[in-house]
Structure 1
Amino acid sequence: MTPTAIGIGRFLGSASLALTAWLVIPQTAGAHPHGWVDIRVEGVFDAQGDLTALRQRWRMDPLYSQVLMEEISSAPGDTPLAQRLDALAIEIRDNLATQQNLTRITLDGRPIAQGDVTAINTEYRDQRMVFGFTLPLAEPQGLAGHTLRYRVFDPTYYIEMLHEADAEGTAPLPDALQLRDAPPGCTTRIVAADPDPDKVMEAAMLDKTQQGEPNLGRFFAETGEIACPD
């Protein structure tokens, strides 16, 4: 299968499509996951001090980014690159919508419904494909005295998704989770995953032709926290 046989945005659309996309790239046998995405998240507040959305930016790893750019650039026709990138953003958005945008959100442990993704864009920067979008909450949420948590992950853990880290990869960057127009005193925190050793072994045993059990990825997902004082 060649890269042009793949829907270029489907890498992020579902586990099976992600698997198909990554099979066009040579991988080391036994390695898992088979690709990664660096994420940044911004919590957006309204004038009433309620959280309304999570603005996200996903940077795909360099090898997959190269595959995407080669496919986009070599596609027949004279459509400008900017329009091709716009089409990619739409394809990614539509596929993500079937997977809860690979994002799970809770408020004090209670699941929070999502709205429809807005403000999508895709660009190629520093040899990385970057997908940006705003994920609205279905209803604005007052966080005074509460903690909102989110996790962003590929359920099968075929693709690792972590907050953008420092050069050593040991800790998330300070601005990997930030707030816009938040009330005074609101804080953020990124909590590393602590998977059970059995889950680590399960993931390590998957080869490049396999994907994990549904929701395996949740055991390896970081948790972003946004909390505001009463």
Structure 2
Amino acid sequence: MKKASSRCRYGWLGLGIALCLGEPSAALAHPHGWVDMSVEGIFDDEGNLTALRQRWRMDPFYSQVVMEEMATADDATSMAERLDALGVEIRDNLATQHNLTTITLDDDPLAQGDVSDTNTDYRDERLIYDFVLPLATPQPLAGRTLRYRIFDPTYYIEMVHEANEDGSRPLPGALTLANAPEGCATVVVKATPDPQKVMEAAMLDKSETGEPNLGRFFAETGEITCPG
């Protein structure tokens, strides 16, 4: 089988391009890989939430595939330069899909700004992508609740907050706050998909997609609440 390009291999990061990954044919049922993520809510000096800083750690198999392919590049660039270029393409792909992130304030959708401060690295056999996702307008949270969900609409990739070994609870660093007003609190709410949706995902092989936005049924919800 012809080897897929690096663009195809990480197409799911922004476009849900499952067929390009070239994974073993024995891999059946969604999801086919995962991302461990952590999020930091960033506040300004006026107490407004301005951005969500996100860190995505790709699963070891996916990370290995991408790193091996980048290592074969026939040019004079360093690995650091190749990682930077990868980060630019990831950023551009994600921008076409709202960065796989939905944000609401008291259940009203919030607009996003342009991603900044991107960084791509490889540590502990995991490919890591860091970025800052600004809100289009800083938001006061006094007496309000901001919620976000981060998910691959195709559910080809499962995206979950950093958790303990059995996945039963998020780690303390999975959702944190920077410069937040006193009393603000966070919680990560686990997804509780309908058994029918679980069965639907389990019946999909890597060449199939389910209903539009299947991934939303499996998405965790991060909540940031500040006292009024």
The TM-score bracket by the shorter chain reads: over 0.9
Residue equivalent to 2:11: 10
1:173 is matched with which residue: 171, 174, 178? 171
2:141, 2:225 within 8 Å by CA — same for their partners in 1? yes
Please list every run of at least 4 consecutive aligned residues from structure 1 whose deviation after the TM superposition is greater than 6 angstroms. none
Deviation at 1:30, TM superposition (A): 3.0
Contact 2:190 2:220 in 1 (8 A): yes
| Aligned residues between the structures | 227
SS of residue paired to 1:105: strand
Equivalence for 1:84: 82
Distance between the aligned counterparts of 1:27 and 1:52, measured in 2? 43
CA change 1:167–1:112 in 2 (3 A) is same
Please report how far the alpha carbon of residue 211 of structure 1 lies from its aligned counterpart in structure 2 after TM superposition: 1.9
Deviation at 1:6, TM superposition (A): 3.9
Name which of structure 1's ranges 94-103 and 168-177 shifts more when overlaid on structure 2: 168-177
The 1:12/1:5 distance shift into structure 2, 3 A limit, reads closer
Q: Secondary structure at the match of 1:203?
A: helix
CA–CA separation in structure 2 for the residues paired with 1:176 and 1:59: 12
| 3-state secondary structure, aligned to 2:173 | helix
Aligned-pair CA distance for 1:13:
1.5
Deviation at 1:29, TM superposition (A): 4.4
Match of 1:46 in 2: 44
> Do residues 20 (structure 1) and 19 (structure 2) align?
yes
Matching residue within 140, 143, 146 for 2:144: 146
2:28 and 2:206 in contact (8 A); partners too: yes
Which of 102, 125, 128 aligns to 2:126? It is: 128
Other structure's SS at 1:63 match: helix
Deviation readout 1:61-115 (Å, 9 max, x if unpaired): 0000001101111111110111110000000000000000000000000000000
Aligned to 2:31: 33
Structure 1 residue 196, shift from structure 2 partner: 1.1
- For 2:140 and 2:35, locate their aligned partners in 1 and report how far apart those are by CA, in whole Å: 30
What is the SS of the residue equivalent to 2:182?
A: coil
Structure 1 gaps of 5+ residues are: none
For 1:5 and 1:148, how far apart are their aligned partners in 2? 36
Structure 1: distance between partners of 2:104 and 2:112? 11
Q: Is the 8 A contact 1:8 1:71 kept in 2?
A: no
